[in-house]
Structures are given as structure tokens and as C-alpha cells.
Amino acid sequence: MAIIDWLRFTFLPSVPATEALDQLRRYLALWFPLPVNFVPAEKGMFGYTSSFDLMVWKDGEFIRVGVVALGGNTAGNTMMVDLSGKGCSLVSDWQAVYATMQDLDARITRADTALDLMEGFTLEQFDDLYLAGEFNCGGRIPSRRYVEGGHMQDLGAHGRTLYLGKKANGKELCIYEKGKQLGNPESEWLRIEIRFGNRDRVIPHEIVLDPTRFFAGGFVALETLVDSIKEKIKTEQRDIVVEERTIVLKRLTHYLVAAYGKTIYQLAHELEMDYKALVELLMVQGVPRRLEKSVVADGVNRVHEPARPMEK
């Protein structure tokens, strides 16, 4: 049920950097159904002096799905692989990811697990559980933070978020109204994420093979939740991708019509209602940023164009 929605790990290469990068390319080819391009970035990150963006070619453009960083004594001469939610959604073989980390003796520094509840649950239910002490962690109650996104007429129109715990302490629970955040004010879709960090804990490699077990083990209340719904929740990850794409496309279409609908109408008249010519005039090949994750995730189930060389 639960998925991995972010993965970051470090390792100490046993060969020079150039060879280590080639080794990573071979490993990543086993993870993804699409070729991955290593594109030099302008700067490093997290104490590393240089980095490469991991890019895949989809619908006429490159989309970043992760980062590889290296270089610098402050990082202990290690290398880092950082796989975003887009990258995780593209993985077709988590067993290969696990084997890679085992081979490299990698240390996971961040792993996010997520569970999607498409209907039947509300944010208030989880807030009530918190207030009842059901998110007790070893005798301690995590801190609570509540955020609303909306406007004066409806403070929660763009979705509400409940945070329990802090990332700085190594474990943060985030429960938010995903459907509303994407743009559907009527959606019941809730997403629950646990963001595990490596402060005062070792994150086992097995988390990528059985994210549901680690998700449920994060809080007693979530273990109870998983036990109660595992026979009821039949939603496939592909269904979630389709739902996200549907909501975002509808929202973007709303903005398109509101901003340029009348202009398009006048253009259609200029072209004597030649709709094919109208589409060819207006269409630009590529992927809107808000659709990148669903487009990349859909790549697991489709045949794709080969990798393209990056322009320098």
C-alpha cells in the first residue's frame, strides 16, 4: 500500500570519481525503464562541490528525476544519490535499488514513505487521534503544526496540512489534503507521509522493499490504520497517477480558458474554424511543471523514445 516517495543515500566509492559515475550509470539502468542522462549542474549541494542532474527524456523535453553529488572533503569524500518523488515514481525495480545500496554499502540519509487514502478519511480524524495521544512515540508526544491554504472566503480551499514531529529530529509525519492541493476543492484524497531522516537512527535498506511495514511502524496509530484498511484499499499506484493527472489537467485547462479562451475564439475565426491549424499554431511540445510527476510515473507502463544527447 505505502510507497517510497523520496530516497537519498551516500556511499564511499572504492574507485576514482569517473569510474564511480560510470558504475552508477550501470546501476541506474537497472532501476528505470527509461535511459537516464547525467547532466553537469552549475553547482554542488549539501557540502559537495559538484553535482549532476539525472534527466529523462519525455514528451519532447528533459525532466529532472534526481541528483548525484560528489567532491569535497566536508562530505567525507563520499558520493550522494538523491531521488525525488518524480524519480521514485519512475522506478520499476526496487529490488535493483536495494541491491545497489547493498553493493555500495550505502547509508540512507532520507527516505519518505507515503500512503494515499482516496476517500473515507478526513484530516480531522487524524488530528483527533493526535489529541487523544495516539501518536505517542516512546512516551513522548510529537510537536504539532497545522497549515491552511486558501483565501478569505474559504481558508482551506487549497488544502490543509497537519505536521507531527520535526524533520530535524529524524522523523516527521505529514498528512495533507492532496486532491485539494492539486486543485480539486471537492476531492477527499488524503496523503500521509512519514519523512525518515538518519539523525540518531539507521534507516535499513529493506525500507525500499517493504515501505508499508516501515510506514506502519512509524507510529502506533498508523499501524492500526494499516491493519484496518489493508483488505479494503485496492487502489493501484497507476490509479493514483491517473487521478493526479486528471485533477491537474482540469485545473490548468480552467486557467487556460479563463486567461486565453476569448483569444483562442478569435483565432479560430481568423483561421475559419480550421481546428487542426489552430492546434498546430498553439501547441508547444513539452510538459508543464505541475504534470511532470504524473508524466514520468506513466513512463513505467509505456514504451519510450531513446535517450537524447543533451545540448551543451
Question: What radius of gyration do the chain's Cα atoms show?
Answer: 22
Instruction: Please state, in angstroms and rounded to a whole number, the distance separating the CA atoms of residues 161 and 190.
Output: 10
CA quadruple 280, 284, 287, 290: dihedral sign: negative
Give this prediction's pTM: 0.87
Q: What angle do CA 246, 247, 248 make, to 5 degrees?
A: 95
Question: Residues of the chain with pLDDT > 90: what percent?
Answer: 71
What is the pLDDT, as a whole number, of residue 299? Answer: 60
Q: How confident is the prediction for the chain on average, in pLDDT?
A: 89
- The angle that helices 275-282 and 237-270 make with each other, rounded to 10 degrees, is 110
Does the structure show a pLDDT above 60 at 116?
Answer: yes
Q: What contacts 208, CB < 8 A, 6 or more positions away?
A: 4, 7, 94, 97, 98, 101, 111
CA distance from start to end of the chain: 42
Query: When comparing pLDDT for 312 and 76, which is higher?
Result: 76
In this structure, are residues 182 and 251 in contact, taking their beta carbons and an 8 Å threshold?
Answer: yes
**Residue 307 binned pLDDT confidence (cut-offs 50, 70, 90):** very low
The cell for 56 is 529523462
Which residue type occupies 119? E
Which residue type occupies 5? D
What is the pLDDT, as a whole number, of residue 74? Answer: 85
Residue in 79, 82, 93, 96 with CA at minimum distance from that of residue 22:
79
What is the pLDDT, as a whole number, of residue 184? Answer: 93
What is the pLDDT, as a whole number, of residue 264? Answer: 93
- The angle that helices 17-31 and 94-104 make with each other, rounded to 10 degrees, is 160
> How confident is the model over 26-76, as pLDDT tens digits?
999 999 999 999 999 999 999 999 999 999 999 889 999 999 999 988 888
Instruction: Please state, in angstroms and rounded to a whole number, the distance separating the CA atoms of residues 41 and 230.
Output: 42
Does the structure show a pLDDT above 60 at 234?
Answer: no
Q: What mean pLDDT do residues 212-239 have?
A: 81
> How confident is the model over 273-283, as pLDDT tens digits?
999 999 999 99
How many residues are present in the chain?
A: 312
Does the structure show a pLDDT above 50 at 304?
Answer: no
66: helix, strand or coil: strand
What is the pLDDT, as a whole number, of residue 152? Answer: 64
Q: What mean pLDDT do residues 99-104 have?
A: 98
Instruction: Please state, in angstroms and rounded to a whole number, the distance separating the CA atoms of residues 286 and 193.
Output: 30
Instruction: Please state, in angstroms and rounded to a whole number, the distance separating the CA atoms of residues 58 and 56.
Output: 6
What is the pLDDT, as a whole number, of residue 269? Answer: 92
> How confident is the model over 133-169, as pLDDT tens digits?
999 877 788 999 999 886 766 666 789 999 999 888 8
Does the structure show a pLDDT above 70 at 107?
Answer: yes
What is the pLDDT, as a whole number, of residue 128? Answer: 94
125: helix, strand or coil: helix
